[in-house]
Amino acid sequence: MVVPRVQAAIASAFGEEYRGTDPVVRPSQFADIQINAAMALAKKVGLPPRDAAARIVEALDLDGVCTEAEISGPGFINLTFDGTWIEELLNAETPGVQAVPPAEAQRVVVDYSSPNVAKEMHVGHLRTTVVGDSLVKVFEALGDTVIRQNHIGDWGTPFGMLIEHWLEIGEDSPEAALLVDDPSAFYQAARAKFDASATDEDGFATRARLRVVALQGGDQETFAVWQRLVAQSKRYFNAIYSMLGISLTDDHIAGESSYDAHLAQLCQELEDRGIARISDGALCTFPAGFTGRDGLPMPLIIRKSDGGYGYGTTDLATIRYRVRELEANRVLYVVGAPQNMHLRMVMATARDAGWLPDTVEAVHVQIGNVLGRTGRS
């Protein structure tokens, strides 16, 4: 829409032979986009760049698309879009997308959003949520069968502390409402109590540790409290999904806890088949091609020396489940870039184990860091 109009303006200002000119659209710091074509055109038409830019702007039809065109610097044209036009585009049934029937419909599993229970969704999660949901919609428009997987962090040691804190303050107390309204404040409060009682033998930290043991040992009452706690976090996630128009529902949740019952067997199988071995007390795989700075093979820890399982173990279980049970031809992990090494090691191990056959494509859709003004994340 914008490009043909800029090209029409160039043609009317400098002649038909320039209609095919690349308008050189770039993001702008001052407006929505920036057109940089005037600089290169200026030489060809023998004008100072700012004058060439002015001629383009004069001939440009902004109607219904832009509210403003401004010349800045050596000859940049800054364009500001008309909000109503953007809104119409967004509300259109299939904005600019036409379904192209795929050669063969795929079963695509997309792991995205995947926030953590009792924690705030940070900007990284928002990005994987938005990008993941867009991908899902594109695949669906292409005719693929898409299976959404929200791999929420709902298991592991912090849950002892979170449950114990929740029970102490009372499930219906105003402080407990933070779980939905400000999860990070809830988490911090539990953490602070835990840290303050670290050395106290009958204190909160000790009770929190016993609570994890009870939870993982299948204690009914603790399990029921945990379920209610997770339900509160789901309310928080869903409130955000609905604000953003995200298509995830509770039906798509397959959190870390859902793999727990399979982890012991998974580790045993890898050990029996010689794919994993004990190193410094921990069960590890050493997939080919991953070496540390010291040149030694890098481990993917799948069972810690204390017998606990970690992020690598659950992620191996995700791949196995998605290929075997969900019958995926393609598995996408829409996850932040810092987890690339982890996911590549998991995928390599899954290939070695035969859980990820060559016919199935596994991709880490990397989302880069969101940086603040200081350039830090």
Nearest partner of 28 among 80, 63, 64, judged by Cα: 80
Q: How far is the CB of 326 from ligand ARG (least distance, A)?
A: 13
Which of 7, 36, 233, 318 binds ligand ARG (CB under 6 A)? It is 318
Q: Which residues, in sequence order, are CB contacts of 6 under 8 Å at separation 6+?
A: 23, 35, 37, 56, 60
Residue 257 binds ligand ARG (CB under 6 A): no
- Nearest position to ligand ARG, beta carbon: 114
Min dist CB 277 to ligand ARG, Å, is 24
Is residue 333 near ligand ARG by the rule CB under 6 A?
yes
CB of 345 to ligand ARG, least distance (A): 12
Cα separation, 342 vs 357, in Å, equals: 19
Residues 6+ apart with CB under 8 A from 210: 160
Output phi, psi for 115, to 5 deg.
Answer: -75, 180
Nearer to ligand ARG, 6 or 152 (CB): 152
In this chain, which of 163, 315, 317, 321 binds ligand ARG, going by CB under 6 A?
Answer: 315
Stretch that binds ligand ARG, among 80-88, 110-118, 171-179, 299-307 (CB under 6 A): 110-118
CB-based burial, 287-311: b 16+ in 10 Å, e otherwise: beebeeeeeeebbbbbbeeeeebeb
| Alpha-carbon torsion, ordered 353, 354, 359, 361, to 10 deg | -20
Query: SS3 of 139, please?
Result: helix
Nearer Cβ to ligand ARG (21/366): 366
Taking the least distance from each CB to ligand ARG, the nearer of 112 and 204 is: 112
Q: Nearest 5°: CA angle at 152, between 326 and 115?
A: 130
55 binds ligand ARG (CB under 6 A): no
Q: Long-range contacts made by residues 172-176, C-beta under 8 angstroms, separation at least 24? A: 176/232
CB of 333 to ligand ARG, least distance (A): 6
Binding residue for ligand ARG, selected from 28, 34, 116, 349, defined by CB under 6 A: 116
Q: Which stretch binds ligand ARG (CB under 6 A): 61-69, 109-117, 215-223, 266-274?
A: 109-117
CA atoms 271, 110, 362, 126: torsion sign: negative
Residue from the set 34, 114, 129, 258 that interacts with ligand ARG by CB under 6 A: 114
Q: Choose between 164 and 256: whose C-beta lies nearer to ligand ARG.
A: 256
Q: Which stretch binds ligand ARG (CB under 6 A): 7-15, 60-68, 108-116, 235-243?
A: 108-116
Q: Pick between residue 257 and residue 318 the one whose CB is nearest to ligand ARG.
A: 318
| Site for ligand ARG contains 183 (CB under 6 A) | no
* CB closer to ligand ARG, 241 vs 333: 333
Q: Please pick, from the candidates 75, 153, 160, 312, the single residue that binds ligand ARG as defined by CB under 6 A.
A: 153
Helix (H) or strand (E) holding 166: helix 158-169
**Pair 368, 338: CB distance under 8 Å:** no
What are the DSSP calls for 102-126, one per residue?
A: -SS--EEEEE----BTTS---HHHH
Would residue 225 be called left, alpha or beta, if left means φ above 0 and alpha means ψ between -120 and 50 degrees?
A: alpha
What binding mask, one character per residue, do residues 335-374 give for ligand ARG by CB under 6 A, x or -? x---------------------------------------
* Residue from 55, 127, 151, 211 in contact with ligand ARG (CB under 6 A): 151
C-beta of residue 110 within 8 angstroms of C-beta of residue 132: yes
Tell me phi and psi for residue 250, to 5 degrees.
-60, -25
Residues in contact with ligand ARG by the rule CB under 6 A: 111, 114, 116, 151, 153, 315, 318, 333, 335
